[in-house]
Chains A and B, each alone.
Chain A
């Protein structure tokens, strides 16, 4: 009786090793620590956006 209890307990302990957590750890990106990119200011200019749109119309549509 005592041996059966020990075997049951040992089996239960061993089975816990089979447990696999399915929780996914989602990481959020940190705050950028590098140098400042001068392109960022340039991109906000409407002229730059317009230039890229015109370029797209020039080179990307189907021939």
Chain B
């Protein structure tokens, strides 16, 4: 069984934000919510680095550990998903996540949080695959269609890789050998246990 992982190659990311746009468009993500965003380190300084960040679908997901209503589950290939019908919008997962992945739409006055929204690795949620209900709640289910996350498929420089962790690691390893230097698999030590 494959183990799905994201990897952003900071040497290749050019901060074009196409991944962010592709994600928002594909899933009709509501205003105020960004399932994916590009973070720039040392912005404006020569040698700045950009990293595309979303839910990393952690091996031992801290969001799932702190959820008081146990609405998180992990698929066999390691994708961390949640049930929006159970979510109470408490915000614990937001504080637990090292990547700031869980987001909350501001649906009403007085700062009341809506249901938590996060990257699904384009795998939808616990409703019938590719149904209208699934699309409305979680976005498109590309995995069920035999496709990979659109953010990675769209990436023009192939900085963002998504798929079977072994295949992703192979590609990245070849790049590091070709360009020299040390591998910097940003976030992998935090998200994935070896």
Q: Which A residues contact B (CB, under 8 angstroms)?
A: 26-40, 42-44, 48-49, 51-53, 55-56, 59-63
What are 27 contact pairs spanning A and B, CB under 8 A? A26-B65, A30-B67, A31-B70, A33-B83, A33-B86, A34-B71, A34-B82, A34-B126, A35-B83, A35-B126, A37-B124, A39-B129, A42-B144, A43-B76, A44-B1, A44-B76, A48-B146, A49-B1, A51-B146, A52-B2, A52-B143, A52-B163, A52-B164, A55-B148, A60-B161, A60-B168, A62-B158
Q: Which residue of A is nearest B131, CB measured?
A: A38
Q: Which B residues contact A (CB, under 8 angstroms)?
A: 1-2, 61, 64-67, 69-73, 75-77, 81-83, 85-86, 123-129, 141, 143-144, 146-148, 152-153, 158, 161-164, 167-168, 171, 174-175
Q: Which residue of A is nearest B76, CB measured?
A: A43
- CB A32 to nearest CB in B, in angstroms, measures 4
A60 to B161 alpha-carbon distance, docked (Å): 7
Q: With A53-B2, A60-B167 known to touch, is A40 a contact of B71 (CB < 8 Å)?
A: no
A30 to B67 alpha-carbon distance, docked (Å): 8
